[in-house]
Amino acid sequence: MTLAAERSVGAGSIRLWRGDITRLAVDVIVNAANSQLAGGRGVDGAIHRAAGPALLHELRTRYPQGCPTGAAVLTGAHALPARWVAHAVGPRWIGGDGGEDALLASAYRTALALAAANGCATVAAPSISTGVYGFPVGRAAPVALAAAAAALAEPGTPLRTITFALFSAEDLAVYTAALTALPDPTA
Ligand code: AR6
């Protein structure tokens, strides 16, 4: 994996990488799901295609009620090289005054808490909500990175690396600038 950027936080680090998240052999990949957990377009579609139909079957069986916006659920990774998938539901952008930042932070926080509760060290996440859901990437990046930094700064966490898998050069540039500007959560 050729990293584009890396920053230490506590005993771990946040990494930025450009590419397809479905290729990453980490403990947990985070999915940008919808609240029906029904699969869809974007990274969700890519994850379901790569995992195979058993992923949708597991979601329907274990979480028939779906998952609220701002939360996440964990499944196996099936045919993916990762071990688990945390299906996080980010908010749809509705202009910025509808609590979108808090819901986005909560989606990352819940997914990372599930990874930590399962003893995981390595997580990869996409830029949740900035595709189909229309959240501006320049506003989402600091929220996503702050949530990752807070999870790595938790005393006793098993988390060691959180890799953001960015799909475009533009998104990678935005996340790189936001990572440089990120306040140190342990300072
Ligand atoms: N690896 C990493 N990032 C990716 C990949 C990939 N393989 N494919 C796309 N992206 P989106 P959302 C990027 O639309 O905005 C679905 O229909 C993409 O370029 O996947 O949270 C769900 O079912 C963008 O930067 O997720 C929901 O209904 C980022 O992933 C809805 O879309 C997120 O874009 C969720 O919308």
Judge whether 20 counts as a catalytic residue: no
DSSP E strand stretches across 24-169: 28-33, 72-76, 84-89, 122-125, 161-166
Dihedral over Cα of 154, 157, 160, 166: its sign: negative
> Which domains are seen in the chain, by residue range?
3-181 (3.40.220.10)
- Give pLDDT tens digits along the chain (187 positions): 788 899 999 989 999 999 999 999 999 999 999 999 999 999 999 999 999 999 999 999 999 999 999 999 999 999 999 999 999 999 999 999 999 999 999 999 999 999 999 999 999 999 999 999 999 999 999 999 999 999 999 999 999 999 999 999 999 999 999 999 998 877 6
Bridge-based pairing of strands 161-166 and 122-125 is parallel
Output the pLDDT for position 185.
Answer: 74
Residues β-bridged to residue 84 = 28, 76
* Cα separations in angstroms, 119 against 54, 102, 109: 24, 26, 15
Ligand 1 pocket: which of 26, 36, 43, 175 to mutate (most atoms <8 Å of CB)?
Answer: 43
Output the pLDDT for position 1.
Answer: 72
Say what the pTM is: 0.98
Q: Quick one: the chain helix, strand, coil %, rounded to 5?
A: 35, 20, 40
Output the pLDDT for position 2.
Answer: 83
Nearest in space to 33 (alpha carbons), one of 45, 17, 18: 45
Cα(93) to ligand 1 centroid in Å equals 14
Cα(32) to ligand 1 centroid in Å equals 6
